[in-house]
Structure 1
Amino acid sequence: MKKLLYLPSLFLALAAWSCGGQATDITTSTAESAPGPGQSAVVDDVSNPNVVQVAISSADHSTLVAALKAADYVDALTNVGPFTVFAPTNTAFDELPAGTLDDLVKPENQRKLRDILEYHVLLGVYKPGDFVNARNLGTADGRSVTVTVAEDGTVTINGAKIIGTVTASNGIIHVIDQVLLPK
Structure 2
Amino acid sequence: MKTKLNILLGVLLTILLVSCKSNNKKQKETSTPTETQENTSRQGQAFIKGDVAKPNVLQIAMGSKDHTTLVAAVQAAGLENALVNAGPLMVFAPTNEAFASLPEGTVENLLKPENKAKLALILKHHVTPGNYSKEFLKKFKHLGQASNQNVTVEVKGDDVYVGGAKIIASIPAGNGIVHVVDKVIIPEN
Q: Shorter chain as normaliser: what TM range?
A: 0.7 to 0.9
Contact 1:165 1:175 survives alignment (8 Å): yes
User: 2:177, 2:10 → 1: CA distance?
Assistant: 47
Answering whether residue 12 of structure 2 is matched by residue 17 of structure 1, we say yes
Identity percentage of aligned residues: 44
List gaps (5 residues or longer) in structure 1: 1-13, 29-33
Partner secondary structure for residue 40 of structure 1: helix
Contact 2:165 2:182 in 1 (8 A): yes
Structure (1 or 2) with the greater helix fraction: 2
Deviation at 1:158, TM superposition (A): 1.8
For residue 103 of structure 1, what is the aligned residue in structure 2?
Answer: 109
Match of 2:172 among 127, 143, 167: 167
- Partner of residue 85, structure 2: 79
The whole-number CA distance in structure 1 between the counterparts of 2:11 and 2:141 is 64
CA distance in 1, matches of 2:154, 2:58: 26
**Pair 1:154–1:23, CA change in 2 (3 A):** closer
Q: Hey, what does 2:65 align to over in structure 1?
A: 59
**Distance (Å, rounded) in 2 between the aligned partners of 1:48 and 1:16:** 45
Residues 36 and 52 (structure 1 numbering): CA distance in 2 closer, same or farther, change over 3 Å?
Answer: closer
Q: How far apart are the structure 1 equivalents of 2:66 and 2:51?
A: 21
Q: Displacement of 1:83 after TM fit?
A: 0.1
Cα distance in 1 between the residues matched to 2:163 and 2:10:
64
Worse overlay, 159-168 or 131-140: 131-140
2:120 to 114, 124, 133: 114
Aligned to 2:4: none
- Cα distance in structure 1, aligned partners of 2:82 and 2:46: 9
What's 1:10 paired with?
Answer: none
Which of 39, 62, 65 does residue 45 from structure 2 map onto? 39
> What is the alpha-carbon distance in structure 2 between the residues aligned to residue 158 and residue 92 of structure 1?
13
Letter in 2 for 1:24: L
Q: Which amino acid aligns with 2:95?
A: T
Runs of 4+ in 1 over 4 A off after TM superposition: 25-28
Structure 2, unaligned stretches of length 5 or more?
A: 1-8, 25-39
Instruction: For 2:69 and 2:180, locate their aligned partners in 1 and report how far apart those are by CA, in whole Å.
Output: 13
**1:68 partner letter:** V
SS of residue paired to 1:156: strand
Question: What TM-score does the superposition give when structure 1 sets the normalisation length?
Answer: 0.81
- Quick check: 1:135–1:148 contact (8 Å CA) kept in 2? yes
